[in-house]
Amino acid sequence: MRIAVYGASGFTGRLAVAEVRRRGFTPVLVGRDAQRLKAAAREAGAAEAEAELRVAGLADSTGLATAFADCDAVVNCAGPFTRWGEPVVRAAIAAGTNYVDTTGEQGYIQRVFDTFSKEAERAGVSVVPAMADDGGPGDLIASLTAARVEPVDEILIADLRRPGGGASRGTARSMASVFAEGAREYEDGAWRPASAAPLEPITPPGEPAAVPVTAFALPGVVTVPRHTGARRVHSAIRTDAAAMFSALTPDIVDSVPEAVPEEARRAGRWLMLAEATGTDGRRARGWVTGADPYGLTAVIAVEGARRLSVEGTARAGVLTPAQAYDPADFLDGLAPHGVTWEVRD
Ligand SMILES: NC(=O)c1ccc[n+]([C@@H]2O[C@H](COP(=O)([O-])OP(=O)(O)OC[C@H]3O[C@@H](n4cnc5c(N)ncnc54)[C@H](OP(=O)(O)O)[C@@H]3O)[C@@H](O)[C@H]2O)c1
């Protein structure tokens, strides 16, 4: 299997290339800068002669589509996606190649659904944005949790990782743009700015006390309403994490190191929670958690790309993770990487 990684020279892109190699597939490294692609290939252990490197900038739509045309799938890691994502989606569709990306940017995900759904269907291509450690597991666990209380009235998605676990410069840059766009929520068939009303504190699984949370623009607000039928979907993160993102000025973003050191990266933990309430008042709570947020993002994106291409069960169009994959099967498949999940009534 040949998997193209766009933005292969970045921090997440290099992890994705390494994951493609670990799975025994052939990585095709695509990006705008030949020297940085060569360095990424060396770092992933691919000898320069055997590595497939393709230089294509975002303005070169033909070059991008040509670079993807003989690949089974594209994993796009070039963010902020709000700025750089759409040309890569368009080129994957033009090439007839399935697409996943590692975005966590709510507004961009909405634009991909709005802009590319019909085009992807016509081309017979599956496009699954948000296959990172928040958007992927968050959408999958929301689906499993919602199923316990159908018909569903309300779902809260919360990213309850503690701040300070180590973020790359690319994440800081992307989160600054997410914060600038503001958070949305979904209610009665439409998306609108998130309510400013304070949220009840949440006791995270495994922690002794409730922590304050604040509305935040998570991918699940865009994806979860598309497959649960919930009347309302909103999202939150810990208030201390939100405060950290809100303080991201351009100077601070530039001062963040490009890469998270390996030890800190592996020690980081993530936890996505879904709380669902049925129209009859029944409640269910599900969560999924693991370590190494960036390493797991690479695993999730590459596995998502593999499943689209090999299993071929996903329909064409822009899909949420829970529409593209069997939620329990996908999460169970992450168990060898230390991921656990649970749903309780
Ligand atoms: N939601 C999540 O949980 C999660 C997890 C991991 C990553 N992510 C997202 O993944 C993205 C990448 O993060 P990162 O830390 O890997 O960032 P990064 O190290 O800054 O990498 C960015 C990549 O994008 C490429 N790029 C930037 N501007 C470009 C342009 N104008 N034209 C073509 N390519 C361009 C860079 O190419 P050059 O090397 O040539 O500059 C590089 O390959 C971010 O949006 C991040 O938020 C999300």
Q: What is the mean pLDDT of the chain?
A: 95
Q: Is the dihedral of CA 154, 238, 183, 125 positive or negative?
A: negative
The closest-lying atom of ligand 1 relative to the alpha carbon of residue 171 is 47
The pLDDT tens digits for 19-60 are: 999 999 999 999 999 999 999 999 887 665 567 999 999 999
180 pLDDT band (50/70/90 cuts)? confident
**What's the CA gap between 174 and 245, in Å, rounded?**
10
- Asked if residue 308 has its Cβ within 6 Å of ligand 1, the reply is no
Sorted by where each begins, the domain ranges of the chain are 2-131+296-340, 135-292
pLDDT tens figures, 123-144 = 999 999 999 999 999 999 999 9
Using a 6 Å cutoff on CB, does residue 290 contact ligand 1?
no
| pLDDT number for residue 48 | 57
Q: Are 31 and 42 in contact, with CB atoms under 8 Å apart?
A: no
Q: Is 7 in the pocket of ligand 1 (CB under 6 A)?
A: yes
Closest CA relative to residue 171, chosen from 262, 253, 74: 253
* 240 or 163, which is more confident: 240
C-alpha to C-alpha distance for 127 and 171, rounded to whole angstroms: 22
In this prediction, residues 68-81 reach a mean pLDDT of 97
| Residue 313: pLDDT band with limits 50, 70, 90 | confident
- pLDDT at residue 176, as a whole number: 87
Q: Strand 317-318's sheet: what is its strand order?
A: 52-55, 26-31, 2-6, 73-76, 98-101, 126-128, 317-318
Centre of ligand 1 from the C-alpha of residue 79, in Å: 4
Residue 270 CB–ligand 1 contact under 6 Å: no
Residue 57 in contact with ligand 1 by CB distance below 6 A: yes
Q: Are 319 and 112 in contact (CB under 8 A)?
A: no
**Average pLDDT of the residues in 305-310:** 94
Q: List, in sequence order, every residue forming a beta bridge with 272; answer none if it has no partner.
A: 159, 288
Cβ-proximal residues to 83 (8 Å cutoff; 6+ apart), any chain = 177
Predicted local confidence at residue 49, as pLDDT: 53
Interval between CA 12 and ligand 1 midpoint (Å): 7
Q: Give the C-alpha separation, 167 to 215, whole Å.
A: 20
Instruction: State which amino acid sits at residue 19.
Output: E
b/e per residue 242-264 (b: at least 16 CB within 10 A): bebbeebeeeebeebeebbeeee
Extract the tokens encoding 242. Answer: 């939100």
pLDDT given for residue 50 in this prediction: 63
332 ligand 1 Cβ < 6 A: no
Tell the CATH topology of 2-131+296-340: Rossmann fold (3.40.50)
Q: Which atom of ligand 1 is nearest to the CA of 294?
A: 6
What is the DSSP code (8-state) at residue 317?
E
Task: For ligand 1, pick from 86, 101, 102, 289 the residue to mutate: most ligand atoms within 8 Å of CB.
Answer: 102
Distance 117 CA to ligand 1 centre (A): 24
Q: Which atom of ligand 1 is nearest to the CA of 104?
A: 1
Strand-strand pairing, 73-76 and 98-101: parallel
- CA 272, CA 263: separation in Å to the nearest integer? 22
Q: Is 258 in the pocket of ligand 1 (CB under 6 A)?
A: yes
- Residues of the chain with pLDDT > 90: what percent? 88
Whether the CB of 13 sits within 6 Å of ligand 1: yes
CATH number of 135-292: 3.30.360.10
Model confidence at 102, pLDDT cuts 50, 70, 90, reads very high
* CB-CB contact of 170 with 259 (8 Å): no
Atom of ligand 1 minimally distant from the CA of 79? 45
pLDDT-based confidence at residue 175 (cuts at 50, 70, 90): confident
Q: How many CB atoms lie within 10 A of CB 343?
A: 18
For ligand 1, whether the C-beta of 14 sits within 6 Å is no
Q: How far out from the chain centre does Cα 314 lie?
A: 18
Cis-peptide, bond into residue 129, ω within 30° of zero: no
State the distance from the centre of ligand 1 to the C-alpha of 8, rounded, in angstroms. Answer: 9
pLDDT above 90 (res 319): yes
User: Is the pLDDT assigned to residue 183 strictly greater than 70?
Assistant: yes
Whose C-alpha lies nearest to ligand 1, atom 37? 7
pLDDT confidence of residue 295: 97
Confidence of residue 101 (pLDDT cuts 50, 70, 90): very high
Residue 281 identity? G
Residues 216-243: what's their mean pLDDT? 97
What is the reported pLDDT for 47?
65
What backbone phi and psi angles, to 5 degrees, belong to 174?
A: -70, -40
Q: State the Cα–Cα distance between residues 37 and 31, nearest whole angstrom.
A: 7
Helix (H) or strand (E) holding 320: none
Q: Residue 77 Cα, ligand 1 centroid: separation in angstroms?
A: 5
Question: Which DSSP helix (H) or strand (E) runs through 277?
Answer: strand 269-278
How far apart are the C-alpha atoms of 167 and 15, rounded to whole Å? 14
How far, in Å, is the centroid of ligand 1 from the Cα of 102? 9
The Cα 233–Cα 158 span in angstroms is 11
